[in-house]
Structure 1
């Protein structure tokens, strides 16, 4: 029975993740889609070269890799508050210089690829670690997914750099005999990250007992700068109902409140003992509960009216805060109302 090479399995896993990211259309995340397409393209070219011995792709692969690494980086850094000049320099300069150096000195290609993948990969890992502050142009409802995919993208680029380094040494010792095996091992190491991303995309919280309402954590009212800032933000968000904007981002919230993004995020994190996305979702869940109790609107309409854009995120956050699904919560409230009426 013919064996299926690991790169093909990786391509299938990435394709599955891409399908999840593409549909439904209104839930697409641009950075995730761009990253996945880039990964699929690069791994496909690599697979065709090594698994099927297509030497014609020998020169295309490094050139494509030099262009794709900045594209992966761009799909996430575009959501960070970086000056346009710095952004363009970091996006265009490394790849342009590398391509020119490759034409003048082809022997430098391997080392240039290793440096490119390592540099952009470490940048994405740093971005994922500081996501709350740096991804200020990302919709708050997508912040968690963006940080996961930025981390996965960083791991992918760093792993590619290590793979290229091993292949470089292999060509020096054996003439490239171990290169296909090195690539297969690298793809096998990448598969768990892809699987984790697929699971995270469909992750659900555990179901707790219906009726045992889990209230969101209340802020600790400490008279310090963070608490004062937090109280001012909370008042403005409640009065203006900014949380109903499905496209709300940290940058937009900072502009509306007049408070710097970093100070705003750190104050919310410190006082509410949670992240900014969950804090905003707390307001949205309050709105959803009121609509579930006082109206007969369908759950999907209530989801949209409360500021959520995806049903999975709405159900997950509602379950986390209330301890029951929106449908079960509404039925419970109706049952309680019927019980009270019968007792009277």
Structure 2
């Protein structure tokens, strides 16, 4: 009786999610590419390991090493800057190099493949360590979640390299008896995690939004920082930019005519908050006015630039010290 291995089940699930995402058009399209790459890899693993199709024995290392550079490119174009072929496409030389090694030096693949996963995982972690100012394209409404999700993706890439190390140890110590299980279970979990994370609404951004190349921000003194914050306060309040749930750091910086990193660092140095919390403070004050005017919590949330109740409640409690209904009750209890 025909059976489906775990990687094939994961591949079918990811392919379904990718098609559903394309049909709904509610996620940035580059993430669909990563989901499909994970689905293809699950299919290749199944055809090679479970069904014994020898052709896919040579294909599997190449399709595997397509995932790390693809994740890096998608991170760049959805979080930092617009797609540029000369900057991003050279990363696809990794699977090309693996194909070359597969043909002429297969003995080095046990080093090249895990090294590629680790290198891109570490590169992601280093880029994220630079702070929110290094992510100008995600929506500010998402707060710190895009950075957290990308950290998990980076760790998943590194964990995938660990599976290759386990396979190598099994070949040395156990004559490869556990190899099929390690590849099937471990790889399936990694692929499923990568695919599922790419569906998060927190990663929504405007990948086609122009973003200048990253440059070191100029050094500004205290007075210059305060002047910039005053300009920002006036811009945000006069144009009620905080009501836009799609607002990004890049859009703010373009309106002010300053680099995104400079704006982010100035907000942090002057207010002690990051850009997301700075904007959300305006949103919460607006939500309070809405609640006092008799609007429901949901209406106040949507009218103030928030899309999700979890983020709204978390930010409301951070700013006001209470949940929305509790805050409203305390206001009602205060005598005139």
TM-score by length of 2: 0.72
Specify the alignment match of 2:209 in structure 1. Answer: none
Partner of 2:260: 261
Q: Deviations over 1:88-134 (max 9, x none)?
A: 23432323333344345444443332232122211211222224122
1:163-203 deviation digits (Å, cap 9, x = unpaired): 2134235435654234357559967997xx99xx8xx999x
After TM superposition, give the deviation of residue 141 of structure 1 in Å. Answer: 1.9
Partner in structure 1 of residue 207 of structure 2 = none
Would you say the 8 A contact 2:160–2:187 is kept in 1? no
What's 2:242 paired with? 243
Aligned to 1:229: 228
Task: For residue 244 of structure 1, report the CA deviation from its aligned partner.
Answer: 1.4
1:247 to partner: Cα distance: 0.9
Show the 5 A alignment for 1:277-288. 277-288=276-287
Please, which runs of 5 or more residues in structure 1 have no aligned partner? 203-221
Kindly indicate whether the alpha-carbon contact (under 8 Å) linking 2:280 and 2:315 is maintained by their aligned counterparts in 1: yes
CA distance in 2 between partners of 1:115 and 1:273 (Å): 38
The aligned residue for residue 215 of structure 2 is none
Q: CA RMSD in A?
A: 4.0
Q: Secondary structure at the match of 2:65?
A: helix
Q: How does 1:95-110 map to 2 (within 5 A)?
A: 95-110=95-110
Distance in 2, Cα, partners of 1:83 & 1:72: 13
What does the per-residue CA deviation read over 1:199-226, in whole Å, with 9 as the maximum and x for residues that have no partner? x999xxxxxxxxxxxxxxxxxxx94433
Report if the CA contact (8 A) 1:32-1:146 is conserved. Answer: no
Kept in 1: contact 2:62–2:96 (CA 8 A): no
The question of 1:156 aligning with 2:156 is answered yes
- Is the Cα contact below 8 Å between 1:66 and 1:99 reproduced in 2? no
What is the Cα deviation at residue 318 of structure 1? 1.0
Quick one: structure 1 residues 266 and 286, their matched pair in 2 at CA, closer, same or farther if it must change by over 3 Å? same
Deviation at 1:46, TM superposition (A): 5.0
Residue 310 of structure 1 pairs with residue 308 of structure 2: yes
Q: Distance in 2 between matches of 1:300 and 1:160?
A: 41
Q: Report if the CA contact (8 A) 2:47-2:53 is conserved.
A: no
Q: Structure 2: 5+ residue runs without aligned partners?
A: 203-220
Q: Secondary structure at 2:144's aligned position in 1?
A: helix
Compared with structure 1, are the counterparts of its residues 32 and 270 closer, same or farther at alpha carbon in structure 2 (3 Å cutoff)? Answer: farther
Q: Corresponding residue for 2:273? A: 274
1:34–1:72 CA contact under 8 A, matched in 2? no
Q: Is the 8 A contact 1:159 1:186 kept in 2?
A: no
Residue 284 of structure 1 aligns to a residue in which SS? helix
**1:12-23 matches, cutoff 5 A:** none
Q: Within 5 A, what are the aligned runs for 1:121-200?
A: 121-168=121-168, 170-171=170-171, 174-180=174-180
What is the CA–CA distance in structure 2 between the aligned matches of 1:81 and 1:143, rounded to whole Å?
A: 19
Q: 1:187 and 1:116, CA in 2 relative to 1: closer, same or farther beyond 3 A? A: closer
- Summarize the Cα distance change of 1:82–1:33 in structure 2 as closer, same or farther, 3 Å threshold: closer
> Is structure 2 residue 333 aligned with structure 1 residue 336?
yes
Separation in 1 of the partners of 2:94 and 2:146?
24
Q: Secondary structure at the match of 1:259?
A: coil
